[in-house]
Each structure stands twice: as C-alpha cells, then as structure tokens.
Structure 1
Amino acid sequence: MGKFARSWALMKSSANILRQDKELMLFPLLAGLASLVVIATFAWPVFALASSHHAEFEGQREHVSPIFMLVSFLFYFVQYSVVIFFNVALASAAMIRLDGGNPTLGDGIRVAMSKLPNIIGYALISATVGMILRALQERFGLIGRIVVGFLGFGWTVATFLVVPVLAAQDVGPVDAVKRSASLLKDTWGENLIGNAGIGVAGGILTFCLIFVSGVLFFAAASTHSVALMVAVGVVAIIALVALSLFQTAMHGVYSAALYRFAHDGDPGQGFDRALLESAFRQKK
C-alpha cells in the first residue's frame, strides 16, 4: 500500500472514531476559544510595549527589553498550557473510546485536570524551547532559520507522543518527553515522519474547499450581490473552521492509537493493527 492510500486508510479509521464520538471535536473548539481569550488578554500589553520600543522592531533586536521578552515568554507559556491541556483531554477521551468505552467531554476534562501540574510543566518546557528557537532564528537570519528547522524537526519527533503519555501515565514532563522519544526509537525510529502522511489527505481536502470557495465567491461577485458574497464567505469560513476542528480531533485520536500501539502493541478498537505495522515498520 502506497503512502497516500495508507494515509487515507488511517484517516478514515480516525474519522470513524469521530463519527461514533462527535463530542471529541469539542476539545479543539474549546482550545481555539481559550486561545483567542489568551491572545486578547496579551494583545494590549504587547501593543503597548511594541509602541514604546518601536526602535527595537527596526533592526535593533539585540537590545529588546527584558520586559518585552518576559511578556512574550508568558504568552508562549499560557498559550502552550491551554493547548496542551485540551490536547491531553482529547487524548484521554480518545483512549476511552479505543478501550471500547463511551467518553464524554467531562471525562476528558477530568483527566486533564488531574494531570494539570504535569501539563503546566510540559508547557513550561515547550515555551522555553519555543523562545530559544525563535531567538536563534531572529539572531542568525537565514542560517538561524535552517538550524531552527532541524532543531524544530528533532523536537517534534521527540515529543510526538508526549500528549498521550501525559494522558495515560502518571509521569512528569521530563519523563514524558523521554518516554515519547523511547517509544518512537524502539518501534518505528527513523521511518516515523516518512511514513506518517496522514496530513496529506487533510491538506488536499482543505485545498479543495478553499478552491471551491474561491470559485463560488467570484461567481457571487459577478452578480454584484453583496449579500450573496457575504453568505458565501461566511459559509466558507464555517466550513474551514469545521474541517480544522475535524482534522485536529483526528490527530488526537490518531496519536492516542499510535501510543497504544507503541506501548501495548494494540491500537485499540477502530484501527487495523496490520495497517499501523506497515505504516511504522522498524527500519532494518
């Protein structure tokens, strides 16, 4: 089975889980709403600091004020905390479904709340890594972007299973990163990114939706009907948001199944074990 066909099959498995538990899409929705609140909360202090340090944004980044750096770090930290919290809640609910249960929104939230100290710890680590990578990128220009690309890739691979590890095990953030890296190394290793193309199908669907929306918008514009153009735009935005929520929820379900497969050898109900073995075969 080729990469695209395998990716499509894995995506359908995740979609089947979501069809059984549509409430799983509420987790990324809540994460998005909470993220907007965080952005709105930090918008004014960031704007005020940017206005008072305008010169620092005109090529003098080596003299960025400590206050601005602190506010930026706090933003990263709070944003990561919110996103990771709801991702852990989603992974927890997905694991209940993979075990044959019928999870609710409250089930996922309760598990995430019980893991809150570990979630905050991992958010602190992620925010620190994010700030360091951003600083390297800004300080060293093109070379910095290349270095950050490699470092970011390595960090993404190492932390690929951190969220389901936090959801399933009572471990701290550092141990969660170590276990994530160990699970990947012991099972799929270097073939992880090359064979995990589940995002391809989602990307194609997004492109098709944008293309169709664009065609419909220009068709509406040709009628000179403002109401029709607004209607097409609103429907397109709602469809894109819905697709984004669906993809995010599928990723949570998929990562939970991958964790189960790596840790227990069984991805759970709704996933084909042979398909996962072919997708993440260990490099010989």
Structure 2
Amino acid sequence: MASSWEILKASARILRSRKELTMFPVLSGCTLGILTIALGVLVVSIPALRDSTAGLIIVVAVFYFLGAYVLTFWQAALISQADVTLDGGDPSVAGGIARATRAGVRLAPWAAIVATVSYLLDVAERRLPQLNIVLDMAWNVTSFQVLPMMVLEDESVPGAVRRAREAFREVWGRNILGVASTGLISLVPAVPGAVLIWLALTELDGAMIVVVALIGILFIAAGAVIASALKGIYQTVLHHYLVDRRMPEAFGGIDGSRLVRTRRSATA
C-alpha cells in the first residue's frame, strides 16, 4: 500500500506539472456528449426507430459500442502521452490522437468487449444492485493493463489480454489500489457537487437553480477528469515496471521491486 500510495502521489505531481494530460478526459466527455446528442436526434427524427423494438435494440447496441470506442480511444491517447511524459518528452493532444489513431483498428474489438461487459454490468445493476460495485471493481481490476499493452506494446486484443492476465498475477493488489484510489479521488469534488445540485433543485428558485446546478455539475466533471488522468498515469507507470523492470525517472525514489509479486516470492 505504501508503494502504491507513493505512485499515486507522484502521478498527481506529474499531472500538476503536465496539465495538458487532463485534456484527454475532457475531450472524451465532449465526444461522448456529442455522440449522445446525435443518437438522440436520430431516434427523434426517425419515427420508425422509436416504434420498432428491433430498431431500438440496434440503436442501443450502436450507442454502447460507439460510447465504448470513444472512451477507449481517448484513454489510449492519454496513456500514450503519459508514456511520453514519463520518458522525459513533451506530451501533446495531437500526439495522443496520432498514437490512438494508429491503434484505431485494434481498439475496435476491445471496445466491443468493453461495450458488452458494460451492458451486462448495467443488467446486473438492475437485478443485483448490491453486487454492482463488486462486479464493476472486478472488471476494472482484471482489465487494468490491457489497454497499456495494446497502446505501448502494439499488442492485439488476444495478446494484450494474455499479457495482462500474466501481469495480473504479479500486480493484482496494485491494480485494486489503483482503481479504488482513483475512484475515491473522483468522489472528493463529486460529493459537494451533488450537494450543490440537491440544494439547487430543492431550496432555490429562478436563475439560481441553473447557476448552482451548473457549478455542481462542474465539480463532478472535474473529479471525473482528474481521476481519469491519474488512472492513465498510474496504468502507464505500472506498465513500465512490468515490461522493463525499471521505474521512470519521476518515480526514482520508489522501490519498484515492492510493486510486483514475483513468481519466486509467490512460491516461497
């Protein structure tokens, strides 16, 4: 836990010095918003889709896939530029887009898997809401290193899943701490944001409803952006050590050997 906490703090320092990394979660949210509006307009403008069960199923399937692809694309771009930063280079939005575009075709099958799992998790949430957090955590932990393998090692989905599975045996605890800590970080501004929205809807009137509610939404969005950026940096740092058995220069004070559970120590 101590070494993982040190990684998280060092990741936060990098994020403060390289604020351009936060642009990728912002662009991801904007793209997802545009996609949602576009699909909504499509359904409204084509009555046959609204009145057809098959049509709605197709729209939902397309939305899940495109939404998953958007999130995967921008997270891949973030990871690529976190890698550039850790190697001492200058990250850029254009560089991230170029790197993610290069992996674009290979990202599609993984996006399809993410979309399928997301749909199943949504179904599980409706039927077993008490298990939703556990199932969501399990998925995020087991898939934590798949995207870095695809982006930074040019692996296909089967190869990335195989290597991520092998890595999972060594760093499953770090995966859990990475997912949990970034999730908790997103809650820090989300809680006051939710309180502001509640106050706006229950205690205020007139223009103040809109103003206070928007401030609350911005708090929640800021938490999501920061958590996503930290997750990308954390994933990349862990990937560096798994592949090269060395810590990036910015993390030189951290004992990398404490990050992994090697086969020797596992059998000792």
State the TM-score, normalizing by the size of structure 1: 0.75
% identical equivalent positions: 26
1:52 aligns with 2:36: no
CA distance, structure 1, for counterparts of residue 195 and residue 130 of structure 2 = 35
Q: Tell me if structure 1 keeps the 8 A contact 2:6–2:254.
A: no
CA distance, structure 2, for counterparts of residue 257 and residue 83 of structure 1 = 20
1:165 aligns with 2:149: yes
Distance 1:204 1:241, change over 3 A: closer
Higher relative contact order (CA 8 A, sep 6+): 1
Structure 1 portions without partners, runs of 5+: 54-64
CA distance, structure 1, for counterparts of residue 66 and residue 196 of structure 2 = 34
RMSD between aligned residues: 3.6
Q: Tell me if structure 1 keeps the 8 A contact 2:76–2:100.
A: yes
**Residue identity in the other structure for 2:98:** R
Distance 1:33 1:208, change over 3 A: closer
Distance 1:171 1:192, change over 3 A: closer
Aligned equivalent of 2:113: 125
CA distance, structure 1, for counterparts of residue 63 and residue 194 of structure 2 = 34
CA distance, structure 2, for counterparts of residue 116 and residue 137 of structure 1 = 30
Structure 2 portions without partners, runs of 5+: none
CA distance, structure 1, for counterparts of residue 172 and residue 220 of structure 2 = 34
The secondary structure found in structure 1 opposite 2:150 is helix
Aligned equivalent of 2:245, options 265, 276, 281: 265
| Rg comparison, structure with higher value | 1
- 1:1-284 aligned at under 5 Å gives the runs 3=1, 8-46=5-43, 52=51, 65-134=53-122, 141-142=127-128, 152-185=136-169, 187-189=170-172, 192-193=175-176, 197-199=180-182, 202-203=185-186, 205-206=188-189, 209-210=192-193, 213=196, 231-271=211-251, 274=254, 277-278=257-258, 281=261, 284=266
Q: How far 1:98 moved relative to its partner?
A: 0.7
Distance 1:115 1:51, change over 3 A: closer
Distance 1:212 1:115, change over 3 A: same
CA distance, structure 2, for counterparts of residue 13 and residue 201 of structure 1 = 17
Q: How far 1:35 moved relative to its partner?
A: 0.1
